[in-house]
Chain A
Amino acid sequence: MFGRLTWQAIPWSEPIPLIAAGVVGLGLAAIVAWVFAKGYAPYIWKEWITSVDHKRIGVMYCLLALVMLLRGFSDAVMMRSQQVLAFHGGGYLPPDHYNQIFSAHGTIMIFFVAMPFVIGLMNFVVPLQLGIRDVAFPTLNSVSFWLTAAGALLVNISLVVGEFARTGWLPYPPLSELQYSPGVGVDYYLWSLQISGAGTLLSGINLVTTAMLLLDRYLGFHFFTNEMGGNPMMFVNLIWVWGHPEVYILVLPAFGVFSEVISTFSGKPLFGYRSMVAATMAICVLSWLVWLHHFFTMGAGADVNGFFGIMTMIIAVPTGVKVYNWLFTMYGGKVRFEPPMLWSIGFMVTFVIGGMTGVLMAVPPADFVLHNSLFLVAHFHNVIIGGVLFGAFAGYNYWFPKAFGFRLDEKWGRRAFWLWFVGFYTAFMPLYVLGLLGMTRRMQHFDRPEWYPWVLVAAAGAGLITLGICAQVIQLAVSIRDRALLRDITGDPWDGRTLEWATASPPPAFNFAVMPNVKGEEPYWGMKTKARELAHLLTAEPSYQPISVPRNTATGVVTAFFAVVIGFAMIWRIYWLAGIGFIGVYAAFVVFAWRDRSEEEIPAAEVARRDRENRLVRTSALAKGA
């Protein structure tokens, strides 16, 4: 009746997950109780959960990412501390528990921190920068977000009910096949990714490879099994065809954030716009031509390895073009070292180092020594943290005032940056050394004395990063507390150059009362410069029209709810429940498709009121010579 689900699924005998689950569960219950007690529930449902507004969805994505960052980072702290304590000993985490932790760490950080953060920033900013009202498919946007959240929920449920995968963040067969991983752990991983992957449909190849592994495990297919003609290497090949473009999916938007931040805080337009675009396009194509560098050591011949090695080195060239463009943007400008700029400068130093070690490993003979060592681990953390995470933090600090109407506290922002920056180098530079000294990744314990000092330093680095994260939490708390002082009155706190800074902070639901007629590359800067010259706004008050905005809908959250039901049911082989889930998804789709009104109108008077407020504020700022 309940498939493989029994009371034994709850980890009664393992204190760490049990206590963690208890704390999280109580915390969540407390938050929910507080929301209901204060009467916020209708507001949250109406304005956030069922919202199809790109700004709200963007904020929710970023919130998901930040919350999951805490979970993923706790996994990291456990790994570092385990390695410190496990020199000539067992540490405190048994091996199969440790294996779940490093698997969860990678899975959460890539799929539920990096991706949502980047997608959230894009969601919030891009329509505003383009001068339009919303994304093309607002309801789909909401569904995508909620499916991502559903995947995150499943991963977290595995902490309480059952276990997680022990196979690393990319579950290579044969270990991930049913024969060697008979438990539910890999199934949790697979269903959570299929569901959230359905939300980001363009990761088609990832979907397929995951689907193949599911077919092998559930229906006895033989894609990746050793017997009956299957080939485990096929998994490795296909997953990295997806995996490499994925990391570029993560980092290119971060590059976009840096272009924005660096040009704003240098007071200059971005240098070499055309070459930036060309470099981005080149990276887009080249990123599909390098994937074998993730498995140089797995038996391909020298010709194949050589081809992919050379392509990997070539992809460094357009990336270098971009770095030079950022540097030249700063050159001759009036640079302001606010927190977003600090993150950007930190990125340029850190990412270049990480990139260089990547090019080093692109040489197949070198990779034969370094593959799966801590050198590799240091490299990818170097580029992902230095590139994606620093970009996310820069974007978070930069656009926070636009989203919420008040800036983040600058003092704590600086402290957070420096703690993260010093902490990062302290935590990961020793890993390069360890890799060269021969330490492999994912070790639950080790015996070599010459590794020990470096492991200790790395753990200290993790401690510094913890302080950095604490500083970020404090920054948020202090900013909320002092929000009256930090208020962004004009909507343009950084003297920005792009269109989102033309709106109020936060922008009204319709973004722009009249869609701007955009000319030139930095239209807002052009408008602002001219307006400053004239000391008044360029245009007279427009004739306000009512604006249609998409209606909110519960489709996203309902679909995701049934998706969680399907995932959980399939994991535990409760097939009748999965059937109910599928029916629920179809029903939600039909209900949504049947509605007659997809938009609602904001009356002209309301549009006028919001826009006049903005115009008034801007006019008085211009009069004061701002």
Chain B
Amino acid sequence: MSAVSSFSPVDPNHLGHNDLSRETEWDTPGRGEGGPASKSVIVSYGFWIFLLSDIVMFSAFFASFQVVAGNANGAAPRFDLSNLAVETGCLLLSSFLCGMASLCANRRRLFGTEIFLLLTGILGAVFLTLEIREFVGLIQQHQGPADGAYYSAFFALVGCHGLHVTVGLLWLGTMMAQIAAKGLRPDMLRRLTCFSLFWHALDIVWVAIFSLVYLMRFAP
């Protein structure tokens, strides 16, 4: 076959678009030049991939919710819309404030970063409190996770999101302490980037939840 007879050490499988008779330099497509990307790019991209896998996980909970939601219209609760609006507002505002924290971190402003992170955390905690109260209320009305498939799916999906928020707050608190102790070092900045990716992603997941789980109940 021709691959053997026209063997070329530079381009053995004739993948190049260059005219090889001129023996030009190999033109590697993509980011082939200059070695590996910088650490901050690697870390944030890696975390991005993890987040996407986390979203796939949410989609499995979501799929199982949608499967039961179709069959359970009578049994499902009528959620408190004003509570939902406050929760959504809190999370959205906390996302915005997290962005402000990123801006401060970019400018290496330690105090500003800490203040905005604190506000992010406070709003996150408010969200969580409202959500826990809602859950407790549902359980007391015999609409808890052991009371039927719809509730199991609801509690699992929304609960999983809440669990992520809780872990996020724990992470936030730990990081705030760390930044206070060690300053805005490059590795702290990378972790802040990861945290803000995580927090924004949680808000994205919440958009899906409040639209397609809560508000959908009120669709005529």
Contacts and interface: CB of A to CB of B under 8 A. Distances in A.
A234 interface: yes
Interface in A206-223: 207-209, 211-212, 215-216, 219-223
Interface in A519-573: 519-522, 525-526, 529-530
Contact of B9 (A212, A238, A331, A526): A526
B150 A273 contact: no
A515 B35 contact: yes
B29 interface: no
Contact of A520 (B26, B60, B156): B26
A328 B2 CA distance: 11
Contacts of A132: 36
A518 B32 contact: yes
Interface residues of A, number: 54
B149 interface: yes
B141 to A, nearest CB: 16
Interface string B70-104: 01100100000000000000000000000000000
B13 A204 contact: no
Nearest to A140: B46
Interface in B201-219: none
Interface string A28-53: 00000000000000000000000000
Nearest to B153: A223
Contacts of A333: 4
A221 B155 contact: yes
A547 to B, nearest CB: 14
Interface in B4-48: 4, 9-13, 15, 25-26, 28, 32, 35-36, 42-43, 46
Contacts of B153: 223
A519 B149 contact: no
A241 B156 contact: no
Nearest to A225: B149
A230 B61 CA distance: 14
Contacts of B3: 268-269, 271
A594 B174 CA distance: 10
B interface, over-half SS: helix
B57 interface: yes
A593 B149 contact: no
A192 B61 CA distance: 21
A207 B60 CA distance: 10
A222 B148 contact: yes
A201 B152 contact: no
Contacts of B4: 268, 332-333
A238 B67 CA distance: 12
A273 B187 CA distance: 39
A132 B34 CA distance: 12
Contacts of A596: 182
Interface string B131-156: 00000000000000111111111011
Contacts of A211: 156
Contacts of A207: 57
A231 B67 contact: yes
A223 B56 contact: no
Interface string A482-494: 0000000000000
Interface string A437-460: 000000000000000000000000
Interface of B: 1, 3-4, 9-13, 15, 25-26, 28, 32, 35-36, 42-43, 46, 49-50, 53-54, 56-57, 60-61, 63-64, 67-68, 71-72, 75, 145-153, 155-156, 170, 174, 178, 182, 187, 191
14 contacts: A137-B43, A201-B50, A208-B57, A212-B61, A220-B145, A221-B156, A222-B152, A223-B64, A223-B149, A231-B149, A331-B1, A519-B10, A593-B174, A594-B178
CB-based closest 7 A-B pairs? A229-B149, A204-B57, A220-B146, A221-B152, A208-B60, A519-B26, A526-B9
Given A268-B3, A518-B28, 7 more contacts: A209-B60, A229-B149, A519-B10, A520-B9, A526-B9, A529-B9, A593-B178
